[in-house]
Structure 1
């Protein structure tokens, strides 16, 4: 599942083993850019499970969180 990183938004947290939970704008497999939240190891060779959200879903999430 190749990802093209378009923009790094920021790091939400970092675990004691060095993995970082990041928010990025990513294009998966050449698709439309989406917001992506997932954990990555230090050199981004391994990733954890994550969630990918469209711009509309991010706006809805903002509404829900107030």
Structure 2
């Protein structure tokens, strides 16, 4: 399996943290030297390991924001 190269360009924020120190974060990440996209996933401390996540373009993130704003919590 090929190694996945990534560079966190901007840390937008942390959504939650579990008791093992892993945190669910929203970041702007460049995957394999491609244009950066917004990414939500779990990260180990120091970002040495990651869980599965969701990657969104800026337009998709805006649409998600609009959808979330319509939800009554």
Q: TM-score, normalised by structure 1?
A: 0.94
- 1:12 is matched with 15
Q: What RMSD over aligned residues (CA atoms) do the two structures have, in Å?
A: 0.7
**Segments of 4+ in structure 1 off by > 6 A?**
none
Greater relative contact order (Cα < 8 A, sep 6+): 1
Number of residues of Structure 1 aligned to a counterpart in Structure 2? 66
Q: Which has the higher strand share?
A: 1
Equivalent residue in structure 1 for 2:41, among 18, 38, 42 = 38
TM-score by length of structure 2 reads: 0.86
Which sections of structure 1, spanning at least 5 residues, go unmatched? none
